[in-house]
């Protein structure tokens, strides 16, 4: 276990900060006195979150619009953060998009987007920030993965592939930078009440546009982020958070993989019957 992260006075850069877990993480970090960099594509939404974070107690908030698909912009964006704050203490790679479609129906372009947004964008920004942390002699890098980064779930083949990939990348990165006083945290949320289902890509690449039952019945985002923040403060390298069903599935996958596979196959059959109906 690494040493705990202290938010007060730290410079925390959050991608996907305009909604969901990213927005709530910014609010709770602000309340603990963190200086913030808020990144996403929608500047008006970032400005709304900035105002909320300043009201919550952050001493300084930089709005920095960023599209994680624009890999060439990462170095300049990183330089802008360092020019403003002088350092980067925590990078939270939180931008991402989900999927709701069966493999047989899914256009290959959807898989490409899953990997570009959820994997390569996170890697590109991490590669831009890592030299800054190495030079300053400390730092902390995190990624919002998912329970889907540990378990293969139906109608999420591309999403699961991407989240498994980021789990592998950041687990490996953790080994490489441990001796450099840089910590790496992987966050594995289950079903959290955010817009993740509404924004999820369907078979032809269009957004689902509505909540699904799993997300609608999931954990409140405020409770989720409280557990995540507590995990950072405790120095937990892999923070699993969600309901008993998702966390129980993680345990089952470790302890009895065949039973987990059977359970997930039944979930797929139920989903197919619901879609057909």
Q: Please identify every residue annotated as catalytic.
A: 159
Q: Token pair of 208, please?
A: 């689902």
Measured between alpha carbons, how far is 134 from 146 in angstroms, rounded to an integer? 27
12's enclosing H/E stretch is: strand 11-15
Measured between alpha carbons, how far is 16 from 98 in angstroms, rounded to an integer? 13
Output the furthest CA–CA distance in the chain (Å, rounded): 58
Q: Token pair of 52, please?
A: 């909320």
Measured between alpha carbons, how far is 29 from 22 in angstroms, rounded to an integer? 10
Measured between alpha carbons, how far is 18 from 163 in angstroms, rounded to an integer? 21
Q: How many CB atoms lie within 10 A of CB 259?
A: 11
How many helices and strands (H and E) does the chain possess? 11, 9
Strand partners, 141: 91, 184
Is the distance from CB of 182 to CB of 124 less than 8 angstroms?
no
Is the distance from CB of 154 to CB of 267 less than 8 angstroms?
yes
Q: How many CB atoms lie within 10 A of CB 45?
A: 17
């Amino acid at each position: 276990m690494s040493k705990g992260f202290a938010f007060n006075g730290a410079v925390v850069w959050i991608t996907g900060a305009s909604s969901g877990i990213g927005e709530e993480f910014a609010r709770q970090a602000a309340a603990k006195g963190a200086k913030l960099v808020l990144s996403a594509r929608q500047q008006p939404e970032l400005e709304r979150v900035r105002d909320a974070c300043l009201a919550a107690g952050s001493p300084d908030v930089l709005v920095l619009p960023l599209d994680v698909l624009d890999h060439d912009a990462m170095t300049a964006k990183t330089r802008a953060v360092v020019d403003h704050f002088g350092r980067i203490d925590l990078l939270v790679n939180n931008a991402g998009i989900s999927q709701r479609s069966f493999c047989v129906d899914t256009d290959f372009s959807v898989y490409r987007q899953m990997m570009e947004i959820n994997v390569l964008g996170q890697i590109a920004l991490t590669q831009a920030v890592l030299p800054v942390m190495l030079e300053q002699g400390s730092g902390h890098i995190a990624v919002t993965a998912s329970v889907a980064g540990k378990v293969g779930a139906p109608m999420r083949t591309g999403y699961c592939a991407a989240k498994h990939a980021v789990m592998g990348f950041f687990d490996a990165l953790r080994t490489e930078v441990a001796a450099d006083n840089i910590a790496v945290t992987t966050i594995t949320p289950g079903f959290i009440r955010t817009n993740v289902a509404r924004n999820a890509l369907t078979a032809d690449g269009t957004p689902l546009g509505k909540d699904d039952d799993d997300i609608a019945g999931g954990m409140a985002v405020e409770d989720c982020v409280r557990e995540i923040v507590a995990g950072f403060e405790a120095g937990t390298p892999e923070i699993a958070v969600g309901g008993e069903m998702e966390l129980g599935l993680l345990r089952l996958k470790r302890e009895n993989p065949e039973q987990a596979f059977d359970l997930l196959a039944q979930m797929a059959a139920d989903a197919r019957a619901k879609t057909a109906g």
